[in-house]
């Protein structure tokens, strides 16, 4: 059976989205290939017309670009960045990031909804980064989002699923792919997110700051695949009291006994 991530009709076998913001360019290709990522984020300010410093020279062919609006402080700036990315040939995918807060880097949910509404109306495949709030997620659905990308913890902290219970609410209530983004620091945390029912996980800092970048990307790949397989299999029940794995009575009785 195919188990693909579907985003506005585009199918992806991998459920690992790689962020590219903190890598040396030489390590990006290795991270993509070891992680099996089919989508990679791209900050527009890192794109140029060519030469050794062009990030596009280091991304393998066939990988879908996900330009982000990093640096935008409001919806108007995010829309401008998205349009520039499309004109640069980066395609129709866009990750909306709008942050007025420079200390905690928390997303501005209201401006994110406004930018999503504008860009979805222009044919973009909009993947908004947001603080997990059910009412905002519903507004993003109505605005035309292709997925919802709630933060797990403040961006760059590697603190893991700090917003676990709120993400679970979104998974249960929103009929769009929920892609856990920001704050995932370990493969085990990525696995847990997938076990919850997340459609995918995006990671950047945890991999870029690892001692062995390609090896960590591979570890995230395996963890995400394991978490997805566990979710599809159906996790075993949780009990408050102990229960023997094998029955202690009755298993030696003959079938004919009363």
Residues serving a catalytic function are 95
CA separation for the pair 73, 97 (Å, rounded): 9
Contact yes or no for 153/183 (Cβ under 8 A): yes
Angle CA 89–108–96, to nearest 5: 15
3-state SS, residue 198: coil
CA separation for the pair 253, 245 (Å, rounded): 18
Contacts of 106 by beta carbon, 8 Å cutoff, 6+ apart? 99, 131, 151, 154
Beta-bridged to residue 128, according to DSSP, are 96
3-state SS, residue 52: coil
Contact yes or no for 15/220 (Cβ under 8 A): no
- DSSP single-letter state for residue 235: P
Contact yes or no for 112/128 (Cβ under 8 A): yes
Strands of 149-150's sheet, edge to edge? Answer: 149-150, 125-130, 93-96, 64-68, 39-43, 16-18, 200-203, 179-181
Among candidate residues 234, 198, 212, 233, the one with its CA nearest the CA of residue 17? 198
Contacts of 165 by beta carbon, 8 Å cutoff, 6+ apart? none
């Amino acid at each position: 059976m195919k188990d693909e991530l579907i985003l506005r009709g585009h199918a992806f076998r991998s459920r690992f989205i790689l962020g590219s913001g903190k890598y040396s360019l030489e390590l990006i290709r290795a991270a993509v290939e070891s992680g099996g990522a089919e989508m990679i984020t791209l900050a527009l300010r890192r794109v140029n017309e060519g030469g050794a410093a062009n990030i596009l020279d280091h991304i393998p062919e066939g990988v879908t670009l996900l330009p982000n609006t990093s640096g935008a402080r409001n919806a108007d700036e995010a829309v401008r960045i998205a349009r520039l990315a499309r004109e640069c040939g980066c395609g129709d995918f866009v990750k909306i990031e709008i942050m007025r807060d420079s200390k905690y880097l928390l997303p501005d949910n209201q401006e994110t909804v406004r930018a999503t509404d504008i860009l979805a109306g222009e044919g973009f495949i909009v993947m908004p980064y947001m603080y997990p709030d059910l009412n905002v997620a519903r507004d993003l659905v109505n605005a035309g989002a292709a997925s919802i990308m709630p933060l797990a913890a403040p961006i760059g902290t590697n603190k893991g699923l700090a917003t676990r219970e709120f993400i679970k609410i979104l998974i249960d209530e929103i009929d769009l792919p929920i892609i856990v983004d920001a704050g995932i620091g370990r493969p085990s945390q990525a696995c847990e997110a997938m076990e919850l029912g997340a459609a995918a996980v995006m990671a950047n800092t945890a991999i870029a700051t690892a001692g062995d970048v390609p090896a960590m990307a591979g570890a995230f790949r395996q963890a995400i695949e394991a978490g997805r397989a566990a979710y599809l299999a159906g996790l075993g029940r949780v009990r408050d009291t102990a229960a023997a794995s094998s029955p202690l009575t009755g298993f030696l009785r003959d079938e004919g006994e009363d």
